[in-house]
Structure 1
Amino acid sequence: MLMVSAIFIFMYFAGLLSFCMNRKHMLLMLLSLEFIVISLFFGLFMFLGFYSWEYYFVLIFLTISVCEGALGLALMVMLMRVHGNDYTQSFNLLW
């Protein structure tokens, strides 16, 4: 269990580091957020499997994460149509 938790923690912090380093492009930010969600799914799945609990919460988590990914892609498509690129510094999110 210790090795699995170390892998989960490494994946999570690698995703956070990737999110912080790739903040110029919207698509790379969305990909790193999805990697963080996948690492959280892996940790949750291993935690629930270790204690022999039910996996219904994992299905709810996957459903919500898919909705989050679709919403992020829709937002990126809208920003690409309005501004013409996916650089986060080229548009102003305040108004």
Structure 2
Amino acid sequence: MSEPYVLAQEAMSRLRSSVYLLLKSSPGGLKNSEIGRSLGIYSGHVGHEGHISRTILALMEAEGVVMQDESTKAWRLRNGPESGPSDPLGN
């Protein structure tokens, strides 16, 4: 594999790990803006702030690692005690 590809994958892994560790230390959950600002990745092109952290959250959600509470918009680790059922359908 090429060096740029490997560097990009390492960076993505580190971003995922950073979000994971932040949420692990925040059992009540955090909103996308809080995650992005805490990690220094919330800025972006005008009108597109928060896209980096939101993209990482979407990837982690697809992997079954995090979930969002629709009523509060807070993100939590899926398998934490505060996350509720681990079944994606809530059964």
TM-score computed with the length of structure 2 as normaliser: 0.35
Q: Larger % of helix: which?
A: 1
TM-score computed with the length of structure 1 as normaliser: 0.34
Task: Tell me which of the two structures has the higher relative contact order, counting C-alpha pairs closer than 8 angstroms and 6 or more residues apart.
Answer: 1
